[in-house]
Amino acid sequence: MRIDVVSIFPDYLAPLGLSLVGKARAAGLVDLRVHDLRAWAVDRHHTVDDTPTGGGAGMVMRPDVWGTALDELVTDTTHLLIPTPSGATFTQRTAEALAAAPHLVIACGRYEGIDARVAAHYRTRIQVTEVSIGDYVLGGGEAAALVMVEAVTRLLPGVIGNPESLVEESHGADGLLEYPVFTRPVTWAGLDVPAVLTSGHHGKITRWRRDEALTRTSARRPDLIEALDAATVDRGDLALL
Ligand code: 6GU
């Protein structure tokens, strides 16, 4: 997969050289390039913004500069992502869909956002999604781009050594948060690892983990319990729900 990220703060994307994403890049599993939007600005001051038409606070990013940049980067098969707090919520399902795309371009806005004609124009040519990573406001799209690139990259074939790691995790197919995990030592700070986990009884361990996932999800994310697929709820669950 290829991913292009465009920002006026390309250094903000430096963490994409580290850890899981950095290793995936080094292994050639993702071709990730970060661009400075100002490279496409034409005036002496490399201006990328202007005042909002109709009045109001802040500045808006100019469509002409973004258009020159995106015309150079997008192809017919590009999925253009525009991070914005007014976008559709980015979820694990979004990450899964994007991981199947051949090319992502992430257009990071700052200030009050990017002139709305940019999304409208590219929507006539390619797939465009305005995405939010949650119900809070950030200073720009860069932190959201970091989040989305990591969530997508870890789903690409070969990035995670043991693909079983992708099966039993929060926001996976069962619709529940993950159960609590433990390792050695068996006693730490006066706290014991739950005895069932050292029992060697795999059936009991599976049931205990399922119960923990259910009680944790009920307490922290009741919305996920409401959304559970009836087909994934078993007889043992019903006592807890
Ligand atoms: Cl994607 N961008 C900005 N600027 N703020 C956000 C966001 C995105 N998602 C949540 N808040």
* Residue bearing the CA closest to ligand 1, atom 4: 140
For 15, half-sphere exposure in the C-beta direction (CA atoms, 13 angstrom radius) is 10
**CB-defined site of ligand 1, < 6 Å:** 83-85, 87, 131-134, 136-138, 140-141, 144
Averaged pLDDT, 186-200: 98
Q: pLDDT (tens digit, 9 = 90+) per residue, 58-107? A: 999 999 999 999 999 999 999 999 999 999 999 999 999 999 999 999 99
The residue count for the chain? 241
192 is in an annotated binding site: no
89: CA distance to ligand 1 center in Å? 10
78: CA distance to ligand 1 center in Å? 21
pLDDT for the residue 93: 96
237: CA distance to ligand 1 center in Å? 36
Distance in angstroms between the alpha carbons of the first and the last residue of the chain: 41
pLDDT for the residue 166: 83
Superfamily of domain 172-238, CATH level 4: tRNA(m1g37)methyltransferase, domain 2 (1.10.1270.20)
CA angle, 81 then 82 then 87, to 5° = 105
Angle of the 19-26 helix axis to the 142-153 helix axis, nearest 10: 60
Longest dimension (CA), the chain: 71
Please, is 34 exposed, middle or buried when counting C-beta atoms within 10 Å of its C-beta (0-12, 13-18, 19+)?
Answer: buried
Percent of the chain having pLDDT more than 90?
Answer: 88
- pLDDT higher than 80, residue 240: no
- pLDDT higher than 80, residue 42: yes
Q: Which of 104, 136, 138, 146 gets mutated to test ligand 1 (max ligand atoms within 8 A of its CB)?
A: 138
Band (172; pLDDT cuts 50, 70, 90): confident
Q: Indicate where the chain has its CATH 3.40.1280.10 domain(s).
A: 2-153
- pLDDT higher than 90, residue 164: no
133 is in an annotated binding site: yes
137: CA distance to ligand 1 center in Å? 5
108 within 8 A of 142, measured Cβ to Cβ: yes
Residue type, 178: E
- pLDDT higher than 80, residue 188: yes
- Identify the CA nearest to 146 among candidates 37, 48, 32: 32
Q: Indicate where the chain has its CATH 1.10.1270.20 domain(s).
A: 172-238
60 is in an annotated binding site: no
Q: Which two tokens stand for residue 1?
A: 């997969």
Band (179; pLDDT cuts 50, 70, 90): very high
Q: What is the dihedral of CA 84, 85, 87, 90, to 10 degrees?
A: 100
Q: pLDDT (tens digit, 9 = 90+) per residue, 92-148? A: 999 999 999 999 999 999 879 999 999 999 999 999 999 999 999 999 999 999 999
Q: What is the C-alpha separation between 99 and 153, in angstroms, rounded? A: 7
**Residue range 2-153, CATH number:** 3.40.1280.10
